[in-house]
Amino acid sequence: MAWVEFAFPGCPACSRSWAVSRHRDCPAGKGRGAGGSGGGLEVEPDRSQVRCTDCRRTWGVWETHFHCACGHRFEAREVEEAVREIVRVASLLARVLAQQARDLAEIRRAGAASFRAWASRFADAVAGSLGALAGRLVGSLLRALD
């Protein structure tokens, strides 16, 4: 299955949430100061794994610690229902994206097959026309030589 963005669940203290969680104190901080936010987090729903987009470190969903902007720190188990919903939605999104990729590949294959069929018919028509033209030309030359 695919990796998709891991949303920040509603904070138990202030109820704020975000579309994407960040890897706090990421070792690949890319010039950010100490304590700054790191890479975005992605979740692989089938394996319940989380990874950082910057340092590529992975860990289990239930080992995740969340640090809210309000200063509250909480564990994934404290917001288990929200995390399960995030993983469920991520799984659904990954399936939809995979199906769209398969559909797009099928459309491309069908388009390529259709173009090949059209090109073949066109080549046959051109060859037929050239053959008829060549036949008329040879016939005219033979009549002229008689």
Which pLDDT does position 70 carry in this prediction? 92
Instruction: Work out the pLDDT band at 31, boundaries 50, 70, 90.
Output: very low
8 three-state secondary structure: strand
Q: What six digits make up the tokens of 129?
A: 């026309």
Identify which of 114, 97, 117 has the alpha carbon closest to the alpha carbon of residue 45: 97
Judged against a pLDDT cut of 80, whether residue 33 lies above it is answered with no
Which pLDDT does position 25 carry in this prediction? 85
> Cβ distance 51 to 41 under 8 Å?
yes
pLDDT, tens digit, 9 for 90 and up, residues 42-69: 988 888 899 999 999 999 999 999 999 9
Instruction: Work out the pLDDT band at 35, boundaries 50, 70, 90.
Output: very low
Instruction: Work out the pLDDT band at 1, boundaries 50, 70, 90.
Output: low
DSSP track, 95-131: HHHHHHHHHHHHHHHHHHHHHHHHHHHHHHHHHHHHH
Distance CA(84)–CA(35), nearest Å, equals 27
Residue identified by tokens 């700054």 is 36
Question: How many Cβ atoms are within 10 Å of 53's Cβ, its own excluded?
Answer: 18
